[in-house]
Amino acid sequence: MGLIKCCFFLVVLTFLVHEFPQAYASSRGASVSSNALARHRGRGAPSTPVPVGLCESAVTIHGYKCQEFNVKTDDGYVLSLQRISEGRAGHGSGDGKIKQPVLLQHGLLVDGMSWLLNSVDQSLGFILADSGFDVWVANTRGTRYSRAHATLDASHPAYWNWSWDEIVQFDLPATFDFVYKQTGQKVHYVGHSLGTLVALTSFSQGSSSRVVDKLRSAALLSPVAYLSHMSTALGVVAAKAFIGEIVTTFVAEFNINEEPVANFLKAICATPGMDCYDLITAVTGKNCCLNSSTVDLFLRNEPQSTATKNMVHLAQTVRDGMLTKYDYGNANANVQHYGQPKPPVYDLTNIPKNLPLFMSYGGQDSLADPRDVGSLMDSLKLHDGDKLQVQFVKDFAHADFIMGVTAKDIVYNSMIAFFKRQI
């Protein structure tokens, strides 16, 4: 039941931080500003109705050059993509060297802001730019900066007729194509959580994915593939409820701020014996290294929507015990879509053996449990030894890898050194 738990841990985190922010603060000793709480509890100043671009809201204010791009997928979605091409003065800027591109792919229910939440000396997006890389920040379909489409409006259910299959099939190839054409170079990839799942399944398709032939190397933080070892009560109850109710209860857009999803999560928290106040531990494991300013910034950036179909697909992944394309529920429908009665399988043993991979996972992670990462490693057991670097961080949990104040020293420096060895 692990992957369902992964999704719902993230959903419940964003919901609970909005509903019970004081509990988060007390459980971690964090101090969340009253202004941020007021905005997200419906009191005080309202949030900005129309979001400005990620460059303006999070990058240029720190003195970095940033460009906004739109990438159109083959199925009509328009994805927002930001480029931080230079570091600050004196930090990987103006040295005349050709900069290697790095693409950052976020996880579920968040967007590219994930990589920019901490200070410039602690956020991976800025650290990479200051280290001499050409940084590209992806934003998955349905998130706040990627809600446009050639013919569909995000208010229409047809817009949300996709799962992570389409991220693999359309979003990643379109984004890789764009970055490759802009830079003329193969791309380093960094994914976190769901960003690792879509990467692994894409890589398993080899050159047919339009990604591998443009890929220089990949770093997978809190890698998600096999997730069967999570046992918190919050995850178990959410997973069971999700399987039983998701198809008939929810609308096409899975939006934490809309009534159907909010009511569903409130019902989960009302379950006898359920503790929805030990938030960060219940959701991601016992993170060692988050601070209150990061939590405050998270509160000021609404959780992002995804497709309900995407959540259903993740549930199917756990139910079936393997990574497959979306199951349409009966043989006839599957034959119509795939030409066979069962959905095709993503076989991770097909990942090219010579693809440089860096993986980092934590001993306290309730989502990418070390035992499940071990199962992923079994799929990579024939990988070229000099192309695979695996790092275990005993004290890290899921969120530490993107928001931890010590992530630079513990994880990012090793990852950057790995990238620089890939010529």
Q: 3-state class of 109 per DSSP?
A: coil
Which of 11-25, 164-178, 217-231, 309-323 is the least confident region?
11-25
Question: Would residue 40 be called left, alpha or beta, if left means φ above 0 and alpha means ψ between -120 and 50 degrees?
Answer: alpha
Query: 125-177, pLDDT tens digit by residue?
Result: 999 999 999 999 999 999 999 999 999 999 999 999 999 999 999 999 999 99
Mark whether 75 is an active-site residue.
no
Query: 41-59, pLDDT tens digit by residue?
Result: 333 333 334 468 999 999 9
Query: Any bridge partners for residue 358, and if so which?
Result: 219, 389
Structural domain boundaries of the chain? 2-421
Q: What is the mean pLDDT of the chain?
A: 82
Query: 164-220, pLDDT tens digit by residue?
Result: 999 999 999 999 999 999 999 999 999 999 999 999 999 999 888 899 999 999 999
Backbone angles phi, psi at 256, to 5 degrees: -60, -25
Handedness of CA 313, 299, 58, 49 (dihedral sign): positive
- C-beta atoms surrounding 346 within 10 Å: 21
pLDDT confidence of residue 401 = 95
Half-sphere exposure of 233 (CA within 13 A, CB side): 12
134, 365, 372, 400: the catalytic one is 365
pTM of the model: 0.85
Which of 90-99, 266-275, 289-298, 303-312 is the least confident region?
266-275
Backbone angles phi, psi at 217, to 5 degrees: -165, 170
Query: Any bridge partners for residue 71, and if so which?
Result: 79
The Cα-based distances of 223 to 194, 325, 349, 423 in angstroms read 8, 19, 15, 24
Per residue in 115-131, is it b (16+ CB within 10 Å) or e — as a string? bbbbebebbbbbbbbbb
Band (232; pLDDT cuts 50, 70, 90): low
Mark whether 365 is an active-site residue.
yes
Better-predicted residue by pLDDT, 35 or 65: 65
pLDDT confidence of residue 50 = 45
pLDDT above 60 for 223:
yes
Query: Any bridge partners for residue 388, and if so which?
Result: 357
Query: 357-378, pLDDT tens digit by residue?
Result: 999 999 988 888 898 899 999 9
Better-predicted residue by pLDDT, 379 or 312: 379
- C-beta atoms surrounding 221 within 10 Å: 29
With CA atoms as reference, report the closest residue to 260 among 278, 276, 274, 242: 242
CATH of 2-421, one of 3.40.50.1820, 3.30.70.260, 3.30.750.24, 3.40.50.12160: 3.40.50.1820
123, 146, 163, 193: the catalytic one is 193
Distance CA 412, CA 396 (A): 13
pLDDT above 90 for 342:
yes
Half-sphere exposure of 97 (CA within 13 A, CB side): 14
pLDDT above 50 for 74:
yes
Mark whether 398 is an active-site residue.
yes
